[in-house]
Amino acid sequence: MLDSFKDKLAFFNQNDRSSQLQNHFTSKSSSTTKGTKNPNGYKTCIYFTNWSVYQRKHFATDIPIDHITHIFYAFITIDPDSGSVKFTDEWCDIQLPLPSPKDPTKEVTGSIQQLFELKQINRRLKVVMSIGGYGTEHLFQAVTSDANKLNNFVNSAIGFVKEYGFDGIDIDWEYPKNSQECAYLVQILSKLRSQLDTISPDLVLTIASPAGEENVAALNLREIDKYLSFWNVMCYDFCGESWSTRTGYHSNLFGSNGDNNLSASNVIEKYISSGVHSDKLVLGMPMYGRVFHGAQSQAIGEHFSKERLGTAVESDTIDYKKLPIGEEHFDSKAGSAMCYDSSSKQLIVYDDANSARMKAIFTHSSKLGGGMWWDSCGDNYDDKKRSLLQSYVNQLGGVDVLDKTPNHLDIYKESTFLKELQ
């Protein structure tokens, strides 16, 4: 499977010129994968973070929903004392006055009402609540340590689906660290799947699943797979300034990334070889770059000092839409981009439009379910040629090849929060 894909791209590997790859993708004969679309339609999934409405001024209405099949609302959290789910930011989630997507002269309250109206506008757009997030593993541990808390968790999560207009639930437990915690995750998924089925069998149940070898090894993939609609496989953050010893690509498609042997193709093959069907795997991709400070050159696999100079990006991540900074280069062997600023000694690694197109070809050739991105505020939607989302979708064959499964509007009749919108 992967060999046939590499054969298609073999001529790219004769040298490392990004222009050669660009010429291929812009040629009429191979501009898309037209005529070879996934029979069920490809999923395009994106995480929308509730905190993005503040400093970044990014709102749900900024997402080009014609190119998206699933929006994951991040994050819903857990009360460790009761086990029940709760909002992380009620002001943003259900109180903030925002323009109505259906009628800009009117207002809705909170991002969740905006998303519900977007569902009414695009009937194939599903909105899924994502529970957890990085650094919340202790909350899942608290839930699974007590039977009453576990029941409260499941019942309250189902209650959120019905009250706030969600099309399903995503569990973002980063990460179960052993077989016992994996068994607890299976228990959560089993109970959620059973309850969701009583509302509608096509409600979504997913997890944000790991790429790291130790984290994948801790999971019983076959058992978990029984309950999932699909997997959001996080094929990014393979390396980074705070934990790596050498510079490297953090979301490369092929080969060693410079710091370790992780690559998206190897991660996906690991899931498939463990018994997960390829069309249930959604390829995770980043809409941000990772910054290595104190890099002495535009080179992968080199040591760096972490020294912040005056003109450097202060953080260790940066939104894709703000790139490139300095000289840009695309590595067609790895399927990853980088830029280097010699004055600040910063190296930034990321996916660019070429990466997105390569990963679209990989999605098709490997018969995957689609693509996923973290997070929605990072892309350059205004520039169609540079946009990661639009480059990926266009390479697959355009919006017509996307999943057309309808969302739900008729299972929220008892909702008080959505009463005025229905």
Q: Residue 39 maps to which CATH number?
A: 3.20.20.80
Lowest mean pLDDT among 33-37, 199-203, 337-341: 33-37
Residue 97: both structure tokens together: 């006055």
- Is 70 exceeded by the pLDDT of residue 10? no
**Statement: residue 413 has pLDDT above 50:** yes
Would you say residue 27 has pLDDT above 90?
no
The model's pTM: 0.93
pLDDT in tens, 208-249: 999 999 999 999 999 999 999 999 999 999 999 999 999 999
Is the confidence at residue 37, as pLDDT, over 70?
no
74 domain-assigned: yes
Q: How far is CA 110 from CA 64, 90, 333, 421, in A?
A: 19, 8, 44, 13
Q: Is the pLDDT of residue 375 over 60?
A: yes
Residue-level pLDDT at 311: 81
**3-state class of 396 per DSSP?**
helix
Quick count: other Cβ atoms within 10 Å of Cβ 162? 16
Residue % of the chain over a pLDDT of 70: 91
- At 201, the pLDDT band (50, 70, 90 cuts) reads very high
CB 213 within 8 A of CB 271: no
Please state the rounded mean pLDDT for residues 173-187.
97
pLDDT at 9: 52
**Position 195 in a domain:** yes
Question: Comparing 24 with 278, which gets the higher pLDDT?
Answer: 278
Q: Is residue 75 part of a domain?
A: yes
- Rounded Cα distance between 236 and 212, Å, is 10
Report CA-CA distances (Å) from 276 to 6, 184, 194, 228, 409.
22, 20, 21, 11, 31
Q: Is residue 345 part of a domain?
A: no
Q: What pLDDT is attached to residue 18?
A: 36
369 located within any domain: yes
Query: What span, in angstroms and rounded, lies between the C-alpha atoms of 150 and 144?
Result: 6
- Residue 350 β-bridge partners: 337
pLDDT recorded at residue 310: 81
Domain membership flag for residue 335: no
**200 in any annotated domain:** yes
Q: How confident is the model at residue 382 (pLDDT cuts 50, 70, 90)?
A: very high
CA distances from 239 to 210, 231, 242, 260, 412 (A): 13, 22, 9, 8, 42
CB 32 within 8 A of CB 395: yes
Cβ neighbourhood burial of 178 (10 Å; 0-12, 13-18, 19+): exposed
Does residue 204 belong to any structural domain of this protein? Answer: yes
Split into its structural domains, the chain has a count of 1
Q: Which residues are catalytic?
A: 174
Range of the domain at 278: 33-287+352-421
Q: How far apart are CA 402 and CA 67, in angstroms?
A: 8
